[in-house]
Structure 1
């Protein structure tokens, strides 16, 4: 609830009452979808599964609401019908994508990108922002780390962790920087995706920056972990 309250506070300060009402309505809708999803998710023998995809094929990202948990014990893994795959946004419409594109393809200083500017505004108003940055110093360090990541990917390509998926045995004690829990499994900390009704890849969580940079660098293949597939789709590839 504290996170939701912070989001509403952020929206009210920045955009006014109408935005707060819209955000509240969207949250209510997503909670209804979440409850439907929780009742109707079913196990699938082939999931979760690591596959390799063209980053340009990861065209969508879920709208950032907790209607499809994608990490920890609450994560959804399996086959699911309904409208979960309709709650999506085109990757290229994300502020993050636009900001990284402007930074690395057009040479913008970080200070002129939307992500940086909105983060500074949030910091000045006492709100947690991009990757939890609470000070400009933390924000600048975050930007430096992305500069380094871009150079590393450009020079060396996308390196996968090589960690296999396995059944959970000792809960959080088994987790590391490279391994996270999803439901009853431990998986590599790669981008987690669902496969929508038309076979489209929808990012559910994790690896957003890496996916965007892989797109910008025209990297041929990246590893993703499929957690969910729509009941209308037969393939997991």
Structure 2
């Protein structure tokens, strides 16, 4: 991609570039390459995960298991943080997706519209949504995601989308434990629910934090394979 066409360096995306810590991530990528060579983890890189095989979510405890977010993508960390996990729960997103696409309910009937409206009334914004129009636009877009995934048997990677930003930034988010197990950690929950509902073999995902032992064991090479 030519530099002028690379979203993180465009003036219109400057605030997003800074919020996503892209300069810090670029430095992290260079440091990772110095430590681990050409196959080192890259911030925001795309990995591939089998959604039906996901068993755990990462559980931050604020100390030994810090709150790792998208800005930490590509960070290599040793220690026992990856042992802080819990079984994959039934989420609001999964219930809403089931109600919409299995039970045939409208988005309003699922309760998700009222959920966001209540938060907007209290705080002025809910997950970036500020109006009922914003809410319906988001969930109508999910209709299109579902219909395409049903037709093609896959979810598109972020780089294939018009709203692409940097690698797989904004994708379904996973940290990688020492044994290579992907741990869910927020981000992309509706797409993840759609993938599980449809039984997709793999989905593109954004790399979060990866355990040092997983890098040394070569688990990243497997996760890079779209299958």
TM range (shorter): 0.5 to 0.7
Matched, 1:151 2:132: no
Describe the shift of the 1:223–1:142 C-alpha distance in structure 2 as closer, same or farther (beyond 3 A): closer
Matched, 1:103 2:83: no
Describe the shift of the 1:116–1:60 C-alpha distance in structure 2 as closer, same or farther (beyond 3 A): farther
The TM-score normalised by the length of structure 1 is 0.60
Matched, 1:178 2:164: yes
Runs of at least 5 residues in structure 2 that lack an aligned partner in the other structure: 1-30, 223-227
Describe the shift of the 1:178–1:60 C-alpha distance in structure 2 as closer, same or farther (beyond 3 A): farther
User: Does the 8 Å contact 1:70/1:76 carry over to 2?
Assistant: no
Matched, 1:47 2:41: yes
Counting only pairs closer than 5 Å after superposition, residues 16-95 of structure 1 correspond to structure 2 as 43=32, 45=36, 46-48=40-42, 50-62=46-58, 67-71=67-71, 75=73, 77-87=75-85, 90=88, 92-95=89-92
- C-alpha distance in 2 between matches for 1:122 and 1:96: 16
Which position in structure 2 is the counterpart of 1:33?
none
Matched, 1:121 2:118: yes
Instruction: Tell me how far 1:50 sits from its aligned partner.
Output: 3.8
Describe the shift of the 1:127–1:94 C-alpha distance in structure 2 as closer, same or farther (beyond 3 A): farther
Instruction: Tell me how far 1:198 sits from its aligned partner.
Output: 5.2
- C-alpha distance in 2 between matches for 1:204 and 1:53: 13
Matched, 1:224 2:222: no
Which position in structure 1 is the counterpart of 2:129?
133
- C-alpha distance in 1 between matches for 2:188 and 2:181: 18
Runs of at least 5 residues in structure 1 that lack an aligned partner in the other structure: 1-41, 164-175, 181-186
The TM-score normalised by the length of structure 2 is 0.62
- Deviations, residues 58-77 of structure 1 (Å, cap 9, x unaligned): 34444589811323xx5451
